[in-house]
Amino acid sequence: MTMTVHVDIVSAEKEIFSGLAEMVFAPAELGEVGISPRHAPLITKLNAGEVRVKVSASESYPFFISGGLLEVQPHLVTILADTAIRANDIDEAAALDAKAKAEEALTDKSGKIDYATAQSQLSQAVMQLRTLDRFRKRGG
Amino acid sequence: MAVGKEIRTKIASIKNTQKITRAMEMVAASKMRKTKDRMQATRPYSKKIGKIIKHLAQANPEYKHPYLVVRDVKRVGIILVSSDRGLCGGLNSNLFRKTLSHLVQWDNANVEVDVCTIGTKAFGFFGNLKVNLVGQVSKLGDAPHLSDIVGVIRIMLDAYLEGRIDELYIVSNEFVNTMTQRPTVEQLLPVVACELDENLNGHWDYIYEPDAKEVLDNLLTRFIESKVYQGLVENNACEQAARMVAMKSASDNAGNLISELQLIYNKARQAAITQEISEIVAGAAAV
């Protein structure tokens, strides 16, 4: 039997995933990390991107988060997501729309729009689209 | 017939009031369901972050974050969560009474107090008192966003980091059940963990990425924010529940009042008729 670790993913609004997994992949600030069971204690910030929970060799669940924190204990992995959405739930049209709006805002530097906000919106939209793409390629 | 005109208008006006209180009761009941759902939805997050904080308290970090260090108390800050509207029974006044008793205690111990209020009721009450009001936010509605309250939290956290306050408390109502709401005072800063996890004994520490200060700053700020947010949504659920109960008893009281007045009116009417008849009879006998 393979070793498993308990994984909890929660966002401020609701609980998103709770259960056992063989491995968890998360977009840490210093690069993507993969957490196996009995990993040393770790706390790190997460960037916007995809969190993947590998439940078994054939089954894994992707989630999109727009930032957050990751805590690792040998027997427990907790992800506090700012907003986590099931990757299947991402509405591609909405993401594309948000991207278009953000790009528009970036080119229009007349001063009215906050440059930093627009950039973060753009990066989120791009991340959502990338997650969706990868999800599709895997044949979801 | 001119009998009891005042009584009839009185009954009509009480009936109108009863209609209003009944409508408010039903609105509060449906809103309570929604706010309760919202309150329950935020629970997993605050539970999980509380757990991480507990783990953190057992770690042996080289870096001591200011939020975790206990200092001598010369001045405290409180964040007071109240409702925006009245007509919710004794909810706010109980909360204010509890706050005042704490203020008196601090005053006796020569500890000064800074207050931040959330909700118009608290602002209205403490704005008139001689307390040091450093920030306020109100009119958040039934579905408050975290971003709405970040401002007041920031004020308090900055004050704590700069050493202007040494402890931070949150005062809000706890939702026990629909009939009971309990005012509570909870310490937010410095962060204290109560029960410890036995699995984590021994000397260990986290690996912090990118560095301890940044990560802990981020984590603890989130922790405080989630606590205050939780307090806010819980207080919202309390408000609707309290309003529902208050309006229900108001409708019941109006009902009692109406039946009493109706009785008085009927008696007066009957007396008038009897009198009229006896007058006619007496008149006929005299002819």
Output the domain CATH number for residue A17. Answer: 2.60.15.10
Output the domain CATH number for residue B11. Answer: 1.10.287
pLDDT of A140 over the 60 cut: no
Query: What per-residue confidence (pLDDT) applies to A111?
Result: 58
In a domain, B94, yes or no: yes
Residues A25 and A55 in one domain: yes
Bridge pairing between strands A42-54 and A60-73: antiparallel
Portion of chain B with pLDDT greater than 70, in percent = 96
Average pLDDT of the residues in B194-211 = 74
Closest CA–CA distance from residue A15 to any residue of chain B (Å): 6
Query: What per-residue confidence (pLDDT) applies to A104?
Result: 72
- Nearest by CB to residue B215, choosing from A10, A12, A44, is A44
- Nearest by CB to residue B219, choosing from A11, A14, A43, is A43
C-beta of residue A102 within 8 angstroms of C-beta of residue A121: yes
Check B48 against A43: CB less than 8 A apart.
Answer: no
Residues A79 and A17 in one domain: yes
Closest CA–CA distance from residue A105 to any residue of chain B (Å): 22
Query: What per-residue confidence (pLDDT) applies to A92?
Result: 65
Lowest mean per-residue pLDDT among A9-18, A61-70, A95-104, B233-242: A95-104
pLDDT of B193 over the 70 cut: no
pLDDT of B12 over the 90 cut: yes
Q: B106 CB near a chain A CB, below 8 Å?
A: no
Residues B266 and B179 in one domain: no
In a domain, B281, yes or no: no
Residues A69 and A98 in one domain: no
Q: Which two tokens stand for residue B83?
A: 């409702």
Q: Which of A71, A86, A101 is the last residue of a domain?
A: A86
Residues A78 and A11 in one domain: yes
Give the integer Cα–Cα distance in Å for B263 and B271.
12
Closest CA–CA distance from residue B41 to any residue of chain A (Å): 5
Render pLDDT for A80-104 as a digit per residue (tens, 0 to 9): 987 655 555 666 666 677 777 767 7
Question: Per mean pLDDT, which of A106-115, B93-102, B137-146 is the most reliable?
Answer: B93-102
Query: What per-residue confidence (pLDDT) applies to A102?
Result: 67
Residue of A94, A96, A87, A91 lying closest to A136 (CA atoms): A87
**Residues of the domain holding A62:** 5-86
pLDDT of A107 over the 80 cut: no
Residues A54 and A118 in one domain: no
Backbone torsion region of residue B163, taken as left when φ is above 0, otherwise alpha when ψ lies between -120 and 50, otherwise beta: left
Domain total in chain B: 2
Check A14 against B48: CB less than 8 A apart.
Answer: no
Check A78 against B209: CB less than 8 A apart.
Answer: no
In a domain, B287, yes or no: no
Residues B184 and B269 in one domain: no
Residues B12 and B100 in one domain: no
Average pLDDT of the residues in B266-282 = 94
Check A12 against B199: CB less than 8 A apart.
Answer: no
Q: Which amino acid is at B67?
A: Y
Helix (H, G, I), strand (E, B) or coil at A32: strand
Q: Which two tokens stand for residue B26?
A: 């039903």
Chain A hits for B61, CB-CB cut-off 8 Å, are none
Render pLDDT for B19-77 as a digit per residue (tens, 0 to 9): 999 999 999 999 999 999 989 888 888 888 988 888 887 777 778 888 888 888 999 99
Check B205 against A78: CB less than 8 A apart.
Answer: no
Average pLDDT of the residues in B225-244 = 93
Residues A20 and A49 in one domain: yes
Average pLDDT of the residues in B177-203 = 80
Chain A hits for B229, CB-CB cut-off 8 Å, are 12
Q: A86 CB near a chain B CB, below 8 Å?
A: no
Chain B hits for A80, CB-CB cut-off 8 Å, are 45, 48-49, 52, 222
In a domain, B33, yes or no: yes
- Nearest by CB to residue B209, choosing from A13, A42, A78, is A42
Check B44 against A45: CB less than 8 A apart.
Answer: no
Average pLDDT of the residues in B216-221 = 87
Query: Structure pTM?
Result: 0.81
Average pLDDT of the residues in A49-66 = 88
Cα A52 to chain centroid, rounded: 8
Chain B hits for A42, CB-CB cut-off 8 Å, are 206-209
pLDDT of B133 over the 50 cut: yes
Lowest mean per-residue pLDDT among A63-67, B122-126, B192-196, B278-282: B192-196
Give the integer Cα–Cα distance in Å for A56 and B13.
69
CB atoms within 10 A of CB B248: 17
Q: Which of B54, B201, B215 to mutate to test the interface with A (most CBs of A within 10 A)?
A: B215
Closest CA–CA distance from residue B219 to any residue of chain A (Å): 7
Average pLDDT of the residues in B259-268 = 94
Output the domain CATH number for residue B34. Answer: 3.40.1380.10
Higher per-residue confidence, A123 vs B275: B275
Residues B181 and B229 in one domain: yes
Contacts across the A-B interface (CB distance below 8 Å): 70
Render pLDDT for B118-128 as a digit per residue (tens, 0 to 9): 999 998 898 88
Chain B hits for A11, CB-CB cut-off 8 Å, are 45
